[in-house]
Amino acid sequence: MPPLSMMSKMVFTSLLRVLETRYNLQTSRNISFSEMLGIFLYILGTAAKVSQCRERFQRSGSTISRYFAIVLEKVLRIF
């Protein structure tokens, strides 16, 4: 099975759609749905630290942590 960072575009889009429609993942004016999910999957797929994500996504540590937690909450509701 490929790592999460190698997820196909179709699977990424499907997961994003499920989180939006069934689990009410909401965008903010500063960050898109896809970037939220990208941050979440990047951390899971690479075991990256917040400092590494800050550099990769050009976001503050608090923003990375906040949106990781939001997406995690939605993903856990799936199960």
Compute the residue count for the chain: 79
Average pLDDT, the chain: 90
Domain coordinates in residue numbering, the chain? 4-78
| pTM of the entire predicted model | 0.86
33 contact partners, CB below 8 Å, separation of at least 6: 16, 19, 20, 25, 27
Q: Which residues of the chain have pLDDT under 50?
A: 1-2
How far does CA 23 lie from the centroid of its chain? 14
* Distance between CA atoms of residues 74 and 78, nearest Å: 7
| pLDDT, tens only, 4-14 | 557 888 999 99
